[in-house]
Structure 1
Amino acid sequence: MRAKQHEFRLIQLLLLKYATTDADVRVALPLLRYAPTTQNSRVKAFRVGSDEDPKAISMDKAMDREDQNFVIETAYRQIFFHAFKIDRDTILESQVRNGQITVRDFIRSLCLSDTFTRSFYNLNSNYQVARHLVEKLLGRQVYGKSEEIGWSAVLMTRGVKGMVDDILNSAEYLENFGYDTVPYHRNRVVGSRVVGETPFNITSPRYEAYYRGILGFPQVVYSGTVKAYPERARQRRGGFPEDYLSWVRNLPAMRIGGSGSGNTSMDYMSKVPYRSVGR
């Protein structure tokens, strides 16, 4: 809650800065400037192809209906993590199959859908939503907290629609994905490291920590059958530590209430052999 108050106060100060002469009329904030820090997505990959290489899923390469369905499923996973039957939009799917809309338009409709608003936007802060949209639409991590604040200001003043339109119309999106390619995690392989970048669905889950605590996540639900050990597995065949417990308790060192002549009064220094320097 403190983070939300800090965010609201920051946006309020920015609104006052860009306010017009009329106190009741305010213009929308432009995207604040941020430094494009060096990241993996901005570095050219000089390597041999591997399984970690990004795979572009494009509609213009879909030859049959099965390939078209694969492109649509990839778009759903990119935005929703997983699309249930109730989350699907058959009208949009039909339009993108028939070429009436592009994949870019399909991605935009998913970001502005009721499913995204209800199950993600309403349950997270502006920082989390801005980070999620940058990662999912641009295929890279945000350039630090400065970019999060910049997009949060756009999200605060123009809503999700304004931020999504700015990202999809940006030169970075069009150069990397164009109109018919589903956005993907760009260049996950990191030089001089065995493991690449962590996928976005792990680093940026659907619910942030505040709402995960309210909903009681994580929950472990096991729907399988509990298997019991057979009777023959319970028979002791030697080697069990419990079989030697009584013997260990009868050892002199383990007896309680002994004679009292312990080793605490022994002069250990007198037992150490002494050798003079002349010898």
Structure 2
Amino acid sequence: MAIPLLQYAPKSQNERVAGYEVGSEEQPKVYSTENLPSPTEMDELIWASYRQVFSEHQILKSNRQTFAESQLRYGQITVRDFIRALATSPAFLTLNYETNSNYRFAEICVQRILGRDIYNEREKIAWSIVIATKGVEGFIDAVLDSEEYLDNFGYDTVPYQRRRILPQQAKGDTPFNLKTPRYGAYHRSQLGFPQVVWQNQVRRFIPQDKRLREGDPAGYLGMARSLNNAQGNPPPRVSTFNMNYEALVPRKK
């Protein structure tokens, strides 16, 4: 008997409300196959799928899924099936699943596939239970078959980051595909990060314009002060063997 998905709620009721957003450069471009795209538009759609599932520094020629691309071009699979092929490919699992904990991997997949940030720790735990019970492919299927995915992207639309625009800010949130997928908080703690480096000598930062140049008289100020505080030469010592005691003793006349 499979364990049911743990129930979780959004961290705010605002997540349930459709936002009023003015179109700008921060708005994502929607790629879909609802209307028959041209070969150039299909290339852009495939590239957008790679850019959404993989991070920017993971998009390599060796990570391409050419067989899935061919099936998508000829209409044998849907966009949702192509996203499933990318998320379950050995390249994606090697770069993201094998280098992270289940909690971090669940967060990455929610960001890339559902197009939003994780709600809370309870959602991480819920999806990590699915990974542990159904495996990675079962987890990806559960995310793609979820009501949230089908309501927002359906079968023909490439997932995109939803609500990237932040209220009362000129720039939006950092895109998910630009965030590094490795070294989450768990792995940083395992590796001993952050590391505290102790220095015996306290260094002061001196701006470039305030640093002394070669030959600057101010650089000799310390030496001049040391000369003023220097003591004179001590008096010469006279050996007692060279002293004439008889001549020094006063005589009575």
TM-score of the pair, normalised by structure 2: 0.73
- In structure 1, what is the equivalent of residue 213 of structure 2? 242
| CA distance, structure 1, for counterparts of residue 22 and residue 135 of structure 2 | 42
1:51 counterpart = 2:51: no
Q: Which stretches in structure 1 are left out of the alignment for 5+ residues?
A: 1-26, 215-239, 261-279
The code of the aligned residue for 2:182 comes to: Y
Deviation of 1:251 (Å): 4.4
**Mapping 1:64-213, distance limit 5 Å:** 64-81=38-55, 82-203=58-179, 205-209=180-184, 210=187
- Separation in structure 2 between the aligned mates of residue 99 and residue 251 of structure 1, nearest angstrom: 82
Residues 129-179 of structure 1: CA deviation (Å, up to 9, x unaligned): 100111111000011111000000011110112211111111111111111
Q: 1:249 to 1:54 in 2, by over 3 A?
A: closer
Amino acid at match of 1:47: E
Superposed displacement of residue 197, structure 1: 1.6
In the aligned structure 2, how far is the partner of 1:207 from the partner of 1:250?
52
What is the match of residue 226 of structure 2? 256
Q: Quickly say closer, same or farther: Cα 1:126–1:249, change in 2 above 3 A.
A: closer
Identity, % of aligned positions: 42
Give TM-score, length-normalised by structure 1.
Answer: 0.67
Task: Please tell me the root mean square deviation across aligned C-alpha atoms, in Å.
Answer: 2.7
Q: Provide the C-alpha distance between the structure 2 equivalents of 1:96 and 1:67, rounded to a whole number of angstroms.
A: 13
Matched-pair contact (CA < 8 Å) for 2:8–2:122? yes
Contact 1:190-1:196 at 8 Å conserved across structures? yes
Show the counterpart of 1:3: none
Give the letter for the 2:213 counterpart: E
Determine the structure 2 residue equivalent to 1:17.
none
In the aligned structure 2, how far is the partner of 1:33 from the partner of 1:185? 23
Q: Distance in 1 between matches of 2:221 and 2:33?
A: 78
1:85 shift after superposition? 2.0
Aligned length: 208
| Contact 2:80/2:156 (8 A) holds in 1 | yes
Question: Shift in Å at residue 255 of structure 1?
Answer: 1.7
Task: Give 5+ residue unaligned stretches, structure 2.
Answer: 192-210, 231-253
Range 194-203 or range 123-132, more displaced = 194-203
1:30 matched residue in structure 2: 4
Q: Is the 8 A contact 1:53 1:189 kept in 2?
A: yes
Higher gyration radius (CA):
2
In 2: Cα distance, 1:47 partner to 1:111 partner: 30
